[in-house]
């Protein structure tokens, strides 16, 4: 059963602070999830209307009731739009705080100093639908008598393809930030690939691991390897010494600390690795497509607005200037994106992996995990060495004390 809708103008309002977004785990989220009705069956709607009526009941002599009319004022406003939609639109307009003609002039001038991204997003959200436009076009009464929402829709309807223009404006507002963040991600991918492939220390460690593996696997089918799969790096912690106190990773770190201590800080070469593990190539592809598609829509609107007449004159001029700048920027970032894609594939190939089977995300995550396991093993080795040193010192002191006691006894 659908909940009963009350006319807001007919009742005294409850001036509460409305929750517009439910918090996970809250009562409101639970009620929404369980599909609880908004009006509990305990309440008698008729009684509620009688008790909290804002006006003296009048006998209704009209028929149809397709429109809502506001009461409580000498001049009754005509409302054509759905009540909830109209209320939400009017709430949005109170946040803009400027006359409708000024707001539309700022939108058409694409003036970012007057309208920000959030405001333009709201304007897009509350653009009239085709059905609402038809309602307003078919209205033959006095337009001055229409409500705020309807007046707003009429203002928007003066501009050809208003929603398209607002979306272009939003693209322009977000363009610099969007491209800046996108370039940052692409540069991280390129830097990480370059750092890994040019790290001499990492290469030396890989060579030593290959030697260790071949030594342990000699005489078996796994021996005489010319290389190893990247995920084998993480298996160094699985291979334990006979006394079970040391893994192959610990042993590798121990030998390096003794023979090649300069290799122990190889992770310093890979400064972009951790940041790179947070990047998904699929997301970059989607972002690139969104930028290209956005620019294409801007071009389409530029062509269409050329025939709009005076209403779009400033808009067309501003958009034309923006496109000249945007096209070269998008071309540049598209080239950078293609370079990043090639580098990501080359990184997998560097380790003898198929990019389709072992993509960039897997390569970077495996390397980062290896770095962490390696550093942990080295730290544990250092702690163990310190404990062994203290133990040896204690034993030496005890031996020395024992020797002194024996000497004293001999003297007696």
Interval 332-384: pLDDT, tens: 999 999 999 999 999 999 999 999 999 999 999 999 999 999 999 999 999 98
Q: d(Cα 319, Cα 107) in Å, to the nearest integer?
A: 12
Across residues 263-276, what is the average pLDDT? 96
Work out the pLDDT band at 43, boundaries 50, 70, 90: low
Work out the pLDDT band at 272, boundaries 50, 70, 90: very high
Looking at per-residue pLDDT, the higher value among 268 and 387 belongs to 268
In the listed set 158, 187, 218, which residue is the last one of a domain according to the structure? 158
**Residues 257 and 210 occupy one common structural domain:** yes
DSSP for 250-287, written as a single string: HHHHHHHHHH-GGGTTGGGG-TTHHHHTT--HHHHHHH
Across residues 26-43, what is the average pLDDT? 56
In the listed set 130, 158, 186, which residue is the last one of a domain according to the structure? 158
Q: Which of 59-73, 228-242, 384-398 has the highest mean pLDDT?
A: 228-242
Q: Which residues pair with 366 in a beta bridge?
A: none
**Residues 337 and 374 occupy one common structural domain:** no
Across residues 248-258, what is the average pLDDT? 92
**Residues 259 and 223 occupy one common structural domain:** yes
Is 74 within a domain? Answer: no
**Residues 11 and 30 occupy one common structural domain:** yes
**Residues 21 and 127 occupy one common structural domain:** no
Percent of the chain with pLDDT over 90: 50
C-alpha torsion sign, points 313, 319, 320, 322: positive
Work out the pLDDT band at 95, boundaries 50, 70, 90: confident
In the listed set 101, 135, 158, which residue is the last one of a domain according to the structure? 158
Is 148 within a domain? Answer: yes
Is 275 within a domain? Answer: no
- SS3 percent helix, strand, coil of the chain, rounded to 5, is 65, 0, 30
Work out the pLDDT band at 277, boundaries 50, 70, 90: very high
User: Which domain does 248 fall in, by range?
Assistant: 202-269+359-412
**Residues 290 and 398 occupy one common structural domain:** no
Is 219 within a domain? Answer: yes
**Residues 148 and 183 occupy one common structural domain:** no
Closest CA to 346 of 210, 234, 198, 227: 198
Domain of 127, CATH number, reads 1.20.58.630
Assess whether pLDDT exceeds 50 at residue 317: yes
Q: How many structural domains is the chain composed of?
A: 4
**Residues 189 and 206 occupy one common structural domain:** no
Q: d(Cα 385, Cα 388) in Å, to the nearest integer?
A: 5
**Residues 245 and 192 occupy one common structural domain:** no
**Residues 83 and 150 occupy one common structural domain:** yes
Q: d(Cα 189, Cα 285) in Å, to the nearest integer?
A: 13
**Residues 322 and 376 occupy one common structural domain:** no
Across residues 83-108, what is the average pLDDT? 87
Looking at per-residue pLDDT, the higher value among 61 and 236 belongs to 236
Average pLDDT of the chain? 84
Assess whether pLDDT exceeds 80 at residue 39: no
Q: Residue 179: how many CB atoms within 10 A of its CB?
A: 17
Looking at per-residue pLDDT, the higher value among 318 and 1 belongs to 318
Interval 112-132: pLDDT, tens: 999 999 999 989 999 999 999
Assess whether pLDDT exceeds 60 at residue 17: no
Domain of 385, CATH number, reads 1.20.58.2220
Looking at per-residue pLDDT, the higher value among 40 and 274 belongs to 274
Is 19 within a domain? Answer: yes
Report the pLDDT value the prediction gives residue 29, as an integer from 0 to 100.
Answer: 61
Q: d(Cα 127, Cα 154) in Å, to the nearest integer?
A: 10
**Residues 260 and 215 occupy one common structural domain:** yes
Report the pLDDT value the prediction gives residue 346, as an integer from 0 to 100.
Answer: 94
Closest CA to 198 of 264, 263, 271, 269: 269
Is 61 within a domain? Answer: no
């Amino acid at each position: 059963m659908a909940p009963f809708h009350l006319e807001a103008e007919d009742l005294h309002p409850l001036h509460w602070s409305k929750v517009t977004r439910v918090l996970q785990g809250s009562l409101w989220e639970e009620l929404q999830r369980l599909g609880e009705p908004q009006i509990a069956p305990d309440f008698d709607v008729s009684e509620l209307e009688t008790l909290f009526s804002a006006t003296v009941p009048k006998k209704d002599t009209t028929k149809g009731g397709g429109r809502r009319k506001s009461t409580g004022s000498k001049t009754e406003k005509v409302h054509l739009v759905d009540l909830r939609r109209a209320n939400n639109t009017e709430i949005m307009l109170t946040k803009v705080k400027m006359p409708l003609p000024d707001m539309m002039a700022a939108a058409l001038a694409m003036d970012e100093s007057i309208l920000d991204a959030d405001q333009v997003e709201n304007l897009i959200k509350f653009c009239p639908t085709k059905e609402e436009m038809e309602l307003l076009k078919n209205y033959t009464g006095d337009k001055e008598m229409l409500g705020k929402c309807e007046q707003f829709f009429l203002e928007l309807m003066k501009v050809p393809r208003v929603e398209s223009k607002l979306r272009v404006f939003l693209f322009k507002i977000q363009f610099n930030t969007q491209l800046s963040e996108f370039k940052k991600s692409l540069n991280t991918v390129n830097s990480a690939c370059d750092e890994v492939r040019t790290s001499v220390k990492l290469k030396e460690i890989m060579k030593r691991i290959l030697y260790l593996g071949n030594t342990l696997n000699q005489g078996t089918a796994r021996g005489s390897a010319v290389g190893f799969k990247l995920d084998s790096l993480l298996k160094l912690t699985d291979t334990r010494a006979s006394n079970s106190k040391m893994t192959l990773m610990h042993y590798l770190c121990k030998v390096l600390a003794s023979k090649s201590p300069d290799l122990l800080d190889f992770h310093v070469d890979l400064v972009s690795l951790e940041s790179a593990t947070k990047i998904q190539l699929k997301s970059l592809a989607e972002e690139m497509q969104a930028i290209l598609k956005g620019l294409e829509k801007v071009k389409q609107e530029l062509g269409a607005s050329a025939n709009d007449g005076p209403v779009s004159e400033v808009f067309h001029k501003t958009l034309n200037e923006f496109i000249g700048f945007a096209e070269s920027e998008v071309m540049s970032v598209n080239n950078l994106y293609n370079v990043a894609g090639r580098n990501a594939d080359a990184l997998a190939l560097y380790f003898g992996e198929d990019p389709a089977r072992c993509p960039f995300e897997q390569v970077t995550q495996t390397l980062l995990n290896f770095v962490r396991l390696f550093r942990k093993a080295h730290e544990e080795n250092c702690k163990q060495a310190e404990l062994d040193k203290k133990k040896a010192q204690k034993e030496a002191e005890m031996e020395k004390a024992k020797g002194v006691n024996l000497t004293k006894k001999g003297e007696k």
